Amino acid sequence: MYSADRMNAWIEGASAYCCQALKGFADNPVWTSNPIHTPYANASASLRVNGFAGPLGPASAGVMADYVLVDMFAEAVTGQRTTEEAIANAERRIARYYR
């Protein structure tokens, strides 16, 4: 999977949806082929694990799998909830995992 031809084809086939896992793929042409892809070229250099800066475990995995942060953002930007309401809802959902 990590041979250059396979990894580059995978990144290109995914339209840069996933950032490269190895620094050696940072120069893949997909990152400059479309301005939309450019911000993701160095994304893996600053990624944080689920639950950062807390412990990894079932709770952090559950919050990620339940799309709590994604939903919070979507609720706020679509106007479904105010920013404060979206944050409060996310906190309520997170509390189910961190009891």
pLDDT digits (tens, 9 = 90+) for 69-89: 999 999 999 999 999 999 999
Alpha helix stretches (DSSP H) within 1-99: 4-13, 30-33, 58-65, 68-78, 83-97
Q: What is the mean pLDDT of residues 8-12?
A: 81
Residue 26 confidence (pLDDT):
80
Whole-number Å distance between alpha carbons of 97 and 32: 40
Whole-number Å distance between alpha carbons of 80 and 38: 30
Assign 49 a pLDDT band (cuts: 50, 70, 90): confident
Q: What is the mean pLDDT of residues 10-24?
A: 77
78: its two tokens: 């679509």
Please answer whether residues 92 and 98 qualify as being in contact, where contact means their C-beta atoms are separated by less than 8 angstroms. Answer: no
pLDDT at 12 over 90: no
Residue with tokens 């404060």: 84
Q: What is the mean pLDDT of residues 24-34?
A: 83
Is the full-model pTM beyond 0.75? no
